[in-house]
Structure 1
């Protein structure tokens, strides 16, 4: 059985000890993600890279319920996020990080709120318009509109009369 993970972790001490955590955050603790259906299963690795930067490697999964934007029926989907973070104390320090690391701010105690970080990553990975697979959606491809939009009947230009008056003069 997996262990509950701590909500905040000191990344510097964890990286010095090269700690790895495997566990979960309980469903009840997930507040900012809509309609979660499972705990957040997560593995965390803390280490120093070649540049002596503290790195947090995150790999997490969560099952949640979304509403299909084609048929407006609920469906269950799994979100999987992976990313590498480097803890920083200020925005200036964050700007000096290499591009392949995301900055994460430490609090006044030198700790990182891992659950908030995971919730942020999950929210960022969600699609703007979630939809079922075509074979599972109640709206068939025949019901979807594709191709050219029909043009409206040509309306006469209200200023066309002025052109004719100008040509007479």
Structure 2
């Protein structure tokens, strides 16, 4: 087991050695995720499955500060991502993978950028509309009700004239 987490790694060679990593990426290295409040704590394992497909298992956690979209105040939340990836060299190769593996493209050196992969997964797991838990939010349930929809006044039927003309004839 390794304590130092690699930024990039050749997953095929790592799977042949059955490497496992437990460690963290410092929040200074995180460039695409906004307001990280902690390091990315991560465990990585490389192996081959029964079909001899290279598999990267990722389990990572990070604490982020987000802005509540109800009260517009910051709040701290923890994001936990777990997924299984398989390295591919092209999109056509990605289509042949079993559906329980996410494809990850290798670069021209047959390496995978692990930090970029983690940032992608964190971004994908963020809520579309971040909000506090309703009991911790400054905007109460009663404040979220904006009143009843007013009933429109009865408008005259524009075809009523046609009905009166039809009845005259």
TM-score, length of structure 2 as denominator length? 0.91
Change (3 A) 1:158 1:60: same
Q: Provide the rounded CA distance (Å) in 2 between the counterparts of 1:76 and 1:18.
A: 36
Matched, 1:31 2:31: yes
Q: Provide the rounded CA distance (Å) in 1 between the counterparts of 2:36 and 2:85.
A: 24
Change (3 A) 1:139 1:13: same
Q: Provide the rounded CA distance (Å) in 2 between the counterparts of 1:160 and 1:36.
A: 65
Q: Provide the rounded CA distance (Å) in 2 between the counterparts of 1:120 and 1:164.
A: 67
Unaligned runs of 5+ in 1: none
Count of aligned pairs between the two proteins: 168
Partner of 2:50: 50
TM-score, length of structure 1 as denominator length? 0.91
- Within-5 A mapping of 1:125-144: 125-144=125-144
Q: Provide the rounded CA distance (Å) in 2 between the counterparts of 1:122 and 1:167.
A: 70
Note the aligned Cα RMSD (angstroms): 2.0
Change (3 A) 1:76 1:158: same
**1:98-150 residue CA offsets vs partner (Å, 9 max, x unmatched):** 01000000000000011111111111101111111111100111212289745
Alignment partner of 2:94: what SS?
helix
